[in-house]
Structure 1
Amino acid sequence: MVQINRSQERSHYPKQCNSHLYILVILTTLIIAGVALFIYHKNNKCNRQNNKLEAVLNKIIEK
């Protein structure tokens, strides 16, 4: 009986660790994706502002 319990414990722990590992991997992936999207969005905003500034400067230079 003791051996059966030990084998059950051994088989139980890796499953628990695997589920925690999957959760950790998913969370890490989501965080990285969120940061990447934030940086991409921020760069797009800056690029749009720079394009607007360039257009205004070009109009001033043309006059």
Structure 2
Amino acid sequence: MPQIDILNTEKAQGIWTLEDWLYTPAGTLHGQGHYHETYVKFQGKWRIQHLCLSRQHVQSDF
């Protein structure tokens, strides 16, 4: 579940947790982190203005 903070009627920010697995012939990658997003209201609808991925953990067997 994300944590979303409404800053005003036109702006918000959110943090989403992330866990992913990538399987390739070369090996497996397992990662965890967060998406940090900012949102703006455009023509009455919320849109992503900026997105940044930060990883706290990456494990691979490459």
Which is strand-richer, 1 or 2?
2
| Superposition TM-score, scaled by structure 2 size | 0.19
Larger radius of gyration: 1
Which has the bigger relative contact order, CA under 8 A and spacing at least 6?
Answer: 2
More helix by share: 1
TM-score under structure 1 normalisation?
Answer: 0.19
